[in-house]
């Protein structure tokens, strides 16, 4: 990685193009940050509980602009929360960027249409009796949250179901929750 970076920087250093140098360095650092956890195509061992700032999402998901991120939010491809410590601002739950969740999330959010933003987040991260005390987020990803102390055998069986089966179970709950929250 470092040799690739050195090759890109070498011609820029001689010409005194500081802005271009900084751009290359920032791009490379972002790439390293994205790749620091799990190798490409490999699932992490657990779902992160962190909230990412818009800037972190841009860097980690290789999005080109905030407008793209906000459009994804508006279109229901992902969702954000307003942190309780802020009156203004957005934070994006990091779990929604773990595969296969990005491919499934829009379908579930569509089933929750009309509910308030904080209710969407509550739905995804609250343990559900119908899911054997797993949350819909955990079911979608097939992984427990990183702060979960232990997983029972029954919960592990649910998490190991095929993606389509896990999605169906979450959609059933979303339809019920969406109707209940709107009433």
Instruction: Compute the Cα dihedral for 140, 144, 148, 150 and give only its sign.
Output: positive
Q: What integer best gives the mean pLDDT of the chain? A: 84
pLDDT reading at 35 higher than 50: no
The whole-number pLDDT of residue 63 equals 86
pLDDT digits (tens, 9 = 90+) for 132-148: 999 999 999 999 999 99
Helix or strand holding residue 93 (H, E): strand 92-93
Residue 23: is its pLDDT beyond 70?
A: no
Sign of CA dihedral 147, 115, 129, 95: negative
Instruction: Cite the DSSP H helix spans in the chain.
Output: 2-15, 18-35, 54-61, 66-74, 101-111, 117-125, 136-141, 153-159, 163-182
Structure tokens belonging to residue 121: 């987040």
Q: Given pLDDT bands bounded at 50, 70 and 90, which one contains residue 34? A: very low
Is 183's pLDDT higher than 60? no
The predicted-structure confidence for 93-131, as pLDDT tens digits, reads as follows 999 999 999 999 999 999 998 888 889 999 999 999 999
Mean pLDDT of 66-87: 87
Tokens 């793209």, residue located: 68
Whether 144 and 138 have beta carbons less than 8 Å apart is answered as yes
The mean pLDDT of 144-163, rounded to a whole number, is 96
């Amino acid at each position: 990685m470092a040799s690739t970076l050195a090759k890109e920087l070498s011609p820029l250093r001689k010409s005194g193009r500081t802005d271009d140098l900084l751009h290359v360095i920032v791009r490379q650092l972002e790439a390293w940050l994205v790749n620091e956890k799990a190798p490409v195509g490999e699932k992490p061992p657990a779902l992160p509980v962190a909230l990412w700032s818009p800037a972190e999402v841009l860097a980690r998901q290789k999005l080109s602009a905030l407008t793209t991120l906000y459009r994804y939010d508006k279109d229901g491809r992902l969702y954000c929360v307003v942190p309780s410590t802020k009156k203004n601002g957005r934070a994006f739950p990091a779990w929604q960027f773990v595969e296969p969740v990005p491919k499934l999330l829009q379908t579930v959010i569509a089933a929750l249409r009309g509910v308030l933003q904080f209710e969407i987040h509550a739905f995804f991260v609250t343990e559900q009796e119908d899911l054997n005390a797993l949350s819909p987020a955990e079911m979608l990803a097939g992984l427990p949250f990183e702060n979960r102390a232990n997983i029972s055998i029954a919960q592990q069986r649910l998490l190991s179901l095929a993606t389509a089966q896990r999605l169906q179970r979450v959609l059933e709950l979303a339809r019920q929750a969406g109707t209940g929250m709107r009433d």
